[in-house]
Amino acid sequence: MECLDPVLGAGDLAAERLEQANINPQTGLATDYLNHFNEVMMLLEMLPAMPDCAEDVLAWEPLDYEGHFENSTFKDKKLAILAYHAAPAFLRETLEARVADINELVAQIQSQLREAPEPALVAMEVADFATHQIKPLISTASGVIHGHVEPEAEQPEGDAAQAEIDALFA
């Protein structure tokens, strides 16, 4: 019987079971998901030496967490998806936000490659951009998977915001 509300640390999602499957037991997230992004990152970094990699970069498509595991050869893919649903919402949302950033930047690069008369003409620029913009986002996503998330600074609203502004000028 499938658990409707999976809970990390219990049943199939027991810490030992998650660890055996290479799923972080504290977060319920697996770094295997990052392989999808590391693949395109590797292709982007290879572009200057191998401009024909542009075809593979152009063929790369975004995949959400579940889609990645559904299409992967990951041994415990059903467990990875179950654990993802049990992961704290703020971790899933933070990971999804970083993934959206990565996907957006890759789409920009894909447009740049499509518009270039020859991929070799933009290969160095693209590789440099990927190294400095996309690679750090992949590292940040890895941090999220491992539970290293900086809490957002709370933004006061309404009367609290006005009180803070008034205090600055007092």
User: Is 1 domain-assigned?
Assistant: no
In a domain, 93, yes or no: yes
Render pLDDT for 33-45 as a digit per residue (tens, 0 to 9): 999 999 999 999 9
Residue 79 lies in a domain: yes
Domain count for the chain, please give it. Answer: 1
Q: Residue 140 above 90 pLDDT? A: yes
Q: What is the mean pLDDT of residues 118-124?
A: 96
**Which range marks the domain in which residue 112 is found?**
11-151
What's residue 4's pLDDT?
A: 60
* 49 within a domain of the structure (yes/no): yes
Say if residue 145's pLDDT is above 60: yes
24 conformational bin, left if phi > 0, alpha if psi -120 to 50, beta if neither: beta
pTM, full prediction: 0.84
Instruction: Look at residue 25 and tell me if it is in a domain.
Output: yes
Report if residue 57 sits inside a domain. Answer: yes
| DSSP-H helix ranges across the chain | 15-20, 35-46, 54-59, 65-70, 77-86, 89-115, 119-129, 135-145, 158-168
The pLDDT confidence band at residue 7, using thresholds 50, 70 and 90, is confident
Is the pLDDT score of 48 beyond 90? yes
Cα distance between residue 46 and residue 132, in whole Å: 15
% of the chain at pLDDT higher than 90: 80
**Distance from C-alpha of 135 to C-alpha of 126, rounded to nearest angstrom:** 12
Q: 57-109, pLDDT tens digit by residue? A: 999 999 999 999 999 999 999 999 999 999 999 999 999 999 999 999 999 99
Q: How confident is the model at residue 6 (pLDDT cuts 50, 70, 90)?
A: confident
Is 5 contained in some domain? no
Structural domain contains residue 146: yes
